[in-house]
Structure 1
Amino acid sequence: MEAITMLRSGNSLRFTAKKVEEHQGFGVDLGGVKSPDDFVNALVPWIEALGEVRPDLLDKLAQDLAKAKGAKLPPRLSVVPSSDYPEKS
């Protein structure tokens, strides 16, 4: 039997103490999460840090999530140095 790690009732979420502790191990604090919006807000700092430290891993995660949902990722944008374009007058 699989252990319960999250309880959901309507728009309310609750995580078990064990699951909160596990997520803290990789930098996500679920201690105050009580709604789906709280969950998203708890993930944002982790996602931003992952994007800075391991953008390749973040890209892989995004691709896998999109694939699991049957969605397509938007096309990648590339940064072009401003020196490549003359200033307009």
Structure 2
Amino acid sequence: MLRAGDALRFTPDEIDAYRKLGLDFDGARTRDDIEQALTRWTDTLNDERPDLLEKIAVAMAKARGIKLPARLTRMR
């Protein structure tokens, strides 16, 4: 990713790598564009694979050393 002030650019290789994960950053030029793409991706995951979204959230929280909100806490 290349940055120039508030503008962002992704290389074609980066766009292809993100597409393999289901993210479409083609045409993203600002942080807002990236946020919108991530929102669409998480909404899709929530609809299609909520279990996978939860695993991602748990791993991200663990990596940052933070607690998950109560609605994402796993119950056994």
- Normalising by structure 1, we get a TM-score of 0.68
Distance 1:63 1:10 in 2: 33
Matched AA of 2:6: N
Residue 34, structure 1, aligned to residue 7, structure 2: no
Ranked by relative contact order (alpha carbons within 8 Å, sequence separation 6 or more), the top structure is 2
How well do the aligned residues superpose, as a CA RMSD in angstroms?
Answer: 1.8
Aligned counterparts of 1:70 and 1:11: Cα–Cα separation in 2: 29
Q: 1-side partners of 2:42 and 2:67: how far apart?
A: 19
How far is 1:10 from its partner? 3.6
Which has the larger displacement, 19-28 or 34-43?
19-28
Unpaired segments ≥5 residues, structure 1:
1-5, 78-89
Between structures 1 and 2, the one with greater helix share: 2
Number of residue pairs aligned between Structure 1 and Structure 2: 72
Per the alignment, in what secondary structure is the counterpart of residue 76 of structure 1?
helix
Q: Which structure is larger by alpha-carbon Rg, 1 or 2?
A: 1
Which position in structure 1 is the counterpart of 2:46? Answer: 51
